[in-house]
């Protein structure tokens, strides 16, 4: 039965939280499938703003079971703190379930993330310093600890001792830091955190499949986005997991034949946080307008995002990579008031015109955007509820996106509120 994937089509912060929230009313399960608390989803409900990092956004609905899938990396202290904060604001988190196969972010992962970035110097990736990369690296090296290990003291100690032997050697001999104490970590994870995590640990794959067989609707909620994908993003300036639709199947344990809808979220302009190439990046006064009007500061780290014009070459590539079946366009209201709007439809790379993303990263680094310029509109879109109330110039902008990507735009976001969207 139907499983919907919601993914970001740019470099993150497209407004996935709002869309997942919008679809949530028809869902029974909302599954996070990758990433960790490097993500930040902001959802505004009844004028109240919720910034979620690790807990799936479906948590705000009492009828939904939020699921943290096997592909996610979990800091149990962060998970418990986030649940407590939600509880204090009257949100029930008792239905939240966590895969025992999801990997644990350990204290040494934070250290190694920070030290690795420092070692890279001016070539740093600009990570969120939440230990995400080192945790996924340990997963791939098969020395990671998983959530289920917290439920077995003997296994946990055995694995922790093996891991710490190597981590402490690196911390002390490579980075000249103090070694970490095995008992301190064990005390935190086994005595303090495990009793609180234990009731959440369930067979998430089994539960998801029983629900699918039962005909219930499931949403697979991505964090980060297509061009931060470890395989398909602007490597090495990427995150360490697969936000694209293939990653949703792996990170939730659902085969592709179950997926009936892939919603690609695209912001009406583009932002990126951290380092890496960005052909349509703006540094002029339009950049400041987009940042201030769009409140483009990281939910998590508070960093000012890098803004730029919409890049249709990238968007079309994202559609291809994830079999995106429809586009939800967010923050159209932010473009109101601009005299002209530019949209990138090809690149100039060393005098050659490219209308597709070049396969070589070095070429992409040098890509100069070739723009189509459209007239802007002045109308404030905040209270627009239907397509016929959108200005013609805004409709022309949407039509161009649809024609270029050969994909229908089905929703347009016109403000941060839960009801500020226009169905098309």
Answer whether 47's CB lies under 8 Å from 29's CB: no
Smaller CB separation from ligand IMP, 13 or 82: 13
Closest C-alpha to 184, from 165, 162, 209, 157:
157
Smaller CB separation from ligand IMP, 15 or 424: 15
Is the bond into 389 cis (omega within 30 degrees of 0)? Answer: no
86-105 residues labelled b (16+ CB within 10 A) or e (exposed): beeeebebebbbbbbbbbbb
Minimum distance from residue 383 beta carbon to ligand IMP (Å): 29
Judge whether 13 counts as a catalytic residue: yes
R_g over Cα of the chain: 22
Minimum distance from residue 276 beta carbon to ligand IMP (Å): 6
Smaller CB separation from ligand IMP, 37 or 342: 37
Cα(54)–Cα(31) distance, integer angstroms:
11
User: Which one of the listed residues 13, 21, 149, 229 is annotated catalytic?
Assistant: 13
Cα(64)–Cα(293) distance, integer angstroms:
33
364-385 residues labelled b (16+ CB within 10 A) or e (exposed): beebebbbeebebbeeebeebe
Cα(401)–Cα(404) distance, integer angstroms:
5
Cα(185)–Cα(162) distance, integer angstroms:
13
Report the C-alpha dihedral over residues 13, 374, 348, 317, rounded to 10 degrees: 40
Smaller CB separation from ligand IMP, 75 or 394: 75
Smaller CB separation from ligand IMP, 51 or 198: 51
User: Which one of the listed residues 37, 41, 103, 317 is annotated catalytic?
Assistant: 41
Tell me the β-bridge partners of 340.
375
Question: Which helix (H) or strand (E) covers residue 13, if one does?
Answer: none
Cα(304)–Cα(77) distance, integer angstroms:
27
Cβ atoms < 10 Å from Cβ of 358: 16
Smaller CB separation from ligand IMP, 124 or 159: 124
- What is the β-pairing status of strands 368-375 and 340-349? antiparallel
Smaller CB separation from ligand IMP, 223 or 329: 223
Minimum distance from residue 416 beta carbon to ligand IMP (Å): 17
Minimum distance from residue 350 beta carbon to ligand IMP (Å): 26
Q: In Å, how far from its chain's centre is CA 10? A: 10
Cα(60)–Cα(66) distance, integer angstroms:
9
Cβ atoms < 10 Å from Cβ of 2: 15
- What is the β-pairing status of strands 48-52 and 41-45? antiparallel
Q: What is the DSSP letter of 334?
A: G
Judge whether 41 counts as a catalytic residue: yes
Minimum distance from residue 126 beta carbon to ligand IMP (Å): 4
- Note the residues at the interface with ligand IMP (CB under 6 A): 12-13, 38-40, 125-128, 130, 132-133, 223-224, 228, 237, 239-240, 273-274
Minimum distance from residue 224 beta carbon to ligand IMP (Å): 5
Minimum distance from residue 130 beta carbon to ligand IMP (Å): 5
In this chain, which residue has its C-beta nearest to ligand IMP?
A: 274
End-to-end CA distance of the chain: 25
Smaller CB separation from ligand IMP, 190 or 219: 219
Answer whether 10's CB lies under 8 Å from 306's CB: no
Residues annotated as catalytic (active site), given as ranges: 13, 41
């Amino acid at each position: 039965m139907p499983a919907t994937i919601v993914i970001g089509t740019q470099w993150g912060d497209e407004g996935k939280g709002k869309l997942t929230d919008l679809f949530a009313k028809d869902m029974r399960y909302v599954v996070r499938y990758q990433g960790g608390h490097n993500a930040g989803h902001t959802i505004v409900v009844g004028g109240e703003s919720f910034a979620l990092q690790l807990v799936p956004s479906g948590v705000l609905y009492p009828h939904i079971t939020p699921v943290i899938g096997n592909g996610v990396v979990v800091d149990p202290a962060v998970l418990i703190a986030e649940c407590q904060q939600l509880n204090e604001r009257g949100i029930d988190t008792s239905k939240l379930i966590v895969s025992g196969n999801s990997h644990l972010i350990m204290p040494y992962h934070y250290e190694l993330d920070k030290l690795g970035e420092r070692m890279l110097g001016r070539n740093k990736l600009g990570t969120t310093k939440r230990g995400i990369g080192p945790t996924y690296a340990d997963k791939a090296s098969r020395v990671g600890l998983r959530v289920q290990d917290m439920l077995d003291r003997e296994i946990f100690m055995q694995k922790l001792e093996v891991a710490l032997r190597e981590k402490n050697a690196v911390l002390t001999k490579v980075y000249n830091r103090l070694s970490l104490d095995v008992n301190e970590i064990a005390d935190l994870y086994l005595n303090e955190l495990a009793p609180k995590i234990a009731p959440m640990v369930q067979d998430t794959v089994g539960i998801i499949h029983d629900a699918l067989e039962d005909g219930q609707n499931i949403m697979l909620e991505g964090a980060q986005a297509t061009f931060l994908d470890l395989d398909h993003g602007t490597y090495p300036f990427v995150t360490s997991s697969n936000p694209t639709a293939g990653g949703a199947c792996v990170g939730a344990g659902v085969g592709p034949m179950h997926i009936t809808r892939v919603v690609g979220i695209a912001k009406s302009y583009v932002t990126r946080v951290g380092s890496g190439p960005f052909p349509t990046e703006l540094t002029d006064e339009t950049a400041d307008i987009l940042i201030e009007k769009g409140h483009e500061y990281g939910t998590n780290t508070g960093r000012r995002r890098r803004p730029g014009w919409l890049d249709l070459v990238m968007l079309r590539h994202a559609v291809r990579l994830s079999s995106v079946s429809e586009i939800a366009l967010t923050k159209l209201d932010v473009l109101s008031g601009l005299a002209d709007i530019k949209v990138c439809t090809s690149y100039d790379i060393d005098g050659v015109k490219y209308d597709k993303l070049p396969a070589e990263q070095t070429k992409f680094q040098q890509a100069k955007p070739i723009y189509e310029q459209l007239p802007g509109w002045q109308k404030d879109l905040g209270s627009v509820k239907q397509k016929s109330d959108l200005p013609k110039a805004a409709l022309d902008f949407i039509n161009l996106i649809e024609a270029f990507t050969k994909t229908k735009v089905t929703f347009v976001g016109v403000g941060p509120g839960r009801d500020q969207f226009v169905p098309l």
